Amino acid sequence: MLSVEATSYLFVPANRPDRYAKAAATGAGAIIVDLEDAVAPADKAQARHALANAWHGDLPALVRINAIESGWHDDDIAVCRDLGVRDIMVPKACSPDSLAAIAAAVGAHARLYALVETAEGMAAIRQVASAPGVVRLAFGTVDFQLDLDIDNDDEGLLAFRSEFVLASRLARLPSPIDGVTTQFDDTAQVASDTRRSRRLGFGAKLCIHPSQVAIVNHEFTPDADSLAWAQRVVAASADGAAMAVDGKMIDRPVLERARRLLARTGRRT
């Protein structure tokens, strides 16, 4: 089953089924078979047909459907329901009622990834995070910048990124998924953007090119020094009381942080 805590999500056009397996082989935690932005309006029906013919349960994938206000939304929901697609990315997410309706239409097994990318969605983000079926939030940074006329995705989006992290925590969801780096051939920029995501509390990032996947996975993986520190902290804790490790006082919150870091890599805590 696809993990809702994957660290890298790679888009692949739904009308290119020859790329599904190649995308999955990149090491991405999940691929996003895209019926929305990656498919031209004239190709929507063909993309659904390609998805229906190529989909199988072993594919580590979710499907991005078209927005509810589009003319393709209902047909996308129908094909997902017929295929038994469990994981669905919902673009332009802004209404808890609409998300609940999608979950009900797809079935009780549905797991929704709410892609918030408008001012309206941001205003309702805490309600969106708590909507039935929602298992993770994702930030559609490019569309969000367009909607709010923000010309950069660094300090211009800082407050909004923090709201994603807070809303996810309040709803007890995994850390959210940050938006894409559009300079897909600039590896340094991809790495820098991913480190920023991690520092701000995100747990994953959207990718638009296979070359970004390994970089994103690497940046979300704790380095050797961090793991060694966490192991020392956990080893020194007998009963959770305050203690000193490496000359610094370690109390319960820091101990819990060390345990979480080890858990992310499957280490024993």
Domain-embedded: residue 15: yes
Q: How many domains does the chain have?
A: 2
Considering the domain architecture, whether residues 88 and 191 belong to the same structural domain is answered as: yes
Q: Mark whether 148 and 172 lie in a shared domain.
A: yes
Same domain, 215 and 251: no
The reply to whether 19 falls in a domain is: yes
Q: Please, which pLDDT band fits residue 244 given cuts at 50, 70 and 90? A: low
Please check whether residues 57 and 103 belong to one and the same domain.
Answer: yes
Q: Which residues contact 120 (CB under 8 A, 6 or more apart)?
A: 94
pLDDT value at residue 266: 55
CATH number of the domain within which 30 lies: 3.20.20.60
Residue pLDDT, tens place only, 173-223: 999 999 999 998 899 999 999 999 999 999 999 999 999 999 999 999 876
Range of the domain at 247: 224-264
CB 167 within 8 A of CB 126: yes
By three-state DSSP, how is residue 17 classified?
helix
Give domain status of residue 1, yes or no: no
Query: Per-residue pLDDT for 269 more than 50?
Result: no
The secondary structure of residue 265, as a DSSP letter, is: T
> What is the C-alpha separation between 155 and 55, in angstroms, rounded?
40
**Are the C-beta atoms of residues 210 and 26 closer than 8 Å to each other?**
yes
Q: What is the pLDDT of residue 268?
A: 38
Instruction: Output the CA–CA distances (angstroms, integers) from residue 117 to 75, 151, 202, in the order listed.
Output: 22, 15, 16
Q: Provide the pLDDT for residue 108.
A: 82
Whether 91 and 126 map to the same domain: the answer is yes
